[in-house]
Amino acid sequence: MNKGFYAIFEDDQKKLVMIRILTLFTLFFVLFSCKNNPTLDDFEEKNIDKEQKDTVKSTNFGIVIHGGAGTILKKNMSDSLEKAYQEVLEKAIRKGHEILAEGGSSLRAVTETINIMEDSPLFNAGKGAVFTHDETNELDASLMDGSNLNAGAVAGVTRIKNPINLALEVMLNSEHVMLYGKGAEEFAVTRNMELVDPSYFYSESRLRSLKKVIKKEQDELSSVHSASFEDPYSKDSKFGTVGCVALDQYGNLAAGTSTGGMTNKRFNRIGDAPIIGAGTYANNATCAISATGWGEFFIRSVVAHDISALMEYKGLTLSEAAEEVIQRKVPALGGDGGVVGIDREGNVTMEFNTAGMYRAHMNSEGTLNIGIYKK
């Protein structure tokens, strides 16, 4: 044996060590990559303490939803249409309530509840989204987690079946909060989300609404473009956004909002629904809010965050804060609409300054409360 042999032996050992290091590095990388692509399951795994899950059963969890506010009048509503709205509202809120009752997160409850309203043609969100001036559908949505102030939002997407799910993906799996249009859809593809054909959103009744609004615009001989909030099913006009807020058994708040925006909108207009602070806000320190209204006024009033700030800094209750903003501040600018909200104690608000708001609330005892018109 000469020195050369030992050298070879040493080299082999080095190789082995190198291989081991590389294997470890690869394993670490794979693990690390997985951790960087969390799903809602991973989120719950990480955020819900299992022991806590089995022992702590807070009695004050709850969920509130809205399906839009506006001049919703009993006289314009057939019994069958009213029943149809009530059925979807009940189906949606029962879904979220079931998730909460079984110990799921408020984030999941909000997302899956909104999915049911997005999949219904009755509401101006997802399947029932209204048409833009160019006969396309541009959808907006946002979502916020009150436990860590994480948020996700998308605006102007045209091929996403459930925009709230993409907002969730943006929140959990991107470094960003807000993505727009084609870019947001490219991101969806990287997350293996299915894109739907834009024709998925086609609806004859919504198209009739668009043509009605355009005709009205022409009849008024106005050079000023005007988008509108037409209801294709009745003589009402309404802000048809859908939204949900929830408090889970672990004291975590979440809020989400999804919309098709205004009928006849142009210029890639963005409303309040995808704006964190305006249409959606959640903070465990205060409340979770989802708004539905004339978006421009809700952006200028930073509605959702203002309600939270009135609670946090001025000591108002959720009801007082919502009333202050919806009954005084927004109307003072000339705007109208409403909000649903829930606070960390499970107190809720369903405040609106219009003739009606599709809404429902379920508390931890399972008491269901559905409303459409002003009481």
Residues with a catalytic annotation lie at: 241
| Residue 36 near a second copy by CB under 8 A | yes
CB-nearer residue toward a second copy: 143 or 246:
143
CB-nearer residue toward a second copy: 218 or 223:
223
The interface region with a second copy, picked from 147-155, 203-211, 238-246, 361-369 by CB under 8 A, is 147-155
- Within positions 295 to 314, which residues make up the interface with a second copy, using CB under 8 A? 295-296, 299-302, 305-306, 309-310, 312-314
Q: Least distance to a second copy from the beta carbon of 146, Å?
A: 11
| Residue 341 near a second copy by CB under 8 A | no
One residue of 2, 3, 33, 219 binding a second copy per CB under 8 A: 33
Cβ 86 vs Cβ 356: under 8 Å: no
Cβ 261 vs Cβ 239: under 8 Å: no
If binding means CB under 8 A, how many residues of this protein chain bind a second copy? 54
Q: Is 126 left (phi over 0), alpha (psi -120 to 50) or beta?
A: left
Q: What amino acid is encoded at 98 in this protein?
A: E
Instruction: Give the Cα separation of 306 and 311 in Å (integer).
Output: 9
- Within positions 61 to 120, which residues make up the interface with a second copy, using CB under 8 A? none
| Residue 1 near a second copy by CB under 8 A | no
- Within positions 158 to 177, which residues make up the interface with a second copy, using CB under 8 A? 174-177
Instruction: Give the Cα separation of 81 and 315 in Å (integer).
Output: 41
CB-nearer residue toward a second copy: 290 or 363:
290
Cβ 141 vs Cβ 272: under 8 Å: no
Closest CA to 69 of 370, 337, 371, 350: 337
CB-nearer residue toward a second copy: 191 or 212:
191
Beta-bridge mates of residue 370: 360
CB-nearer residue toward a second copy: 69 or 275:
275
Helix (H) / strand (E) element for 2: namely none
Distance of CA 16 to CAs 7, 19, 21, 233, Å? 14, 5, 9, 73
Backbone angles phi, psi at 239, to 5 degrees: -90, 105
Q: Least distance to a second copy from the beta carbon of 366, Å?
A: 33
Q: Least distance to a second copy from the beta carbon of 245, Å?
A: 17
Closest CA to 117 of 72, 65, 76: 65
| Residue 255 near a second copy by CB under 8 A | no
CB-nearer residue toward a second copy: 187 or 201:
187
Helices 40-47 & 106-118 angle (0-180, nearest 10): 150
Q: Least distance to a second copy from the beta carbon of 148, Å?
A: 8
State the residues that interact with a second copy by CB under 8 A.
29, 33, 36, 144, 148-151, 155-156, 174-184, 186-187, 221, 223-227, 266-271, 275-278, 281, 295-296, 299-302, 305-306, 309-310, 312-314, 333
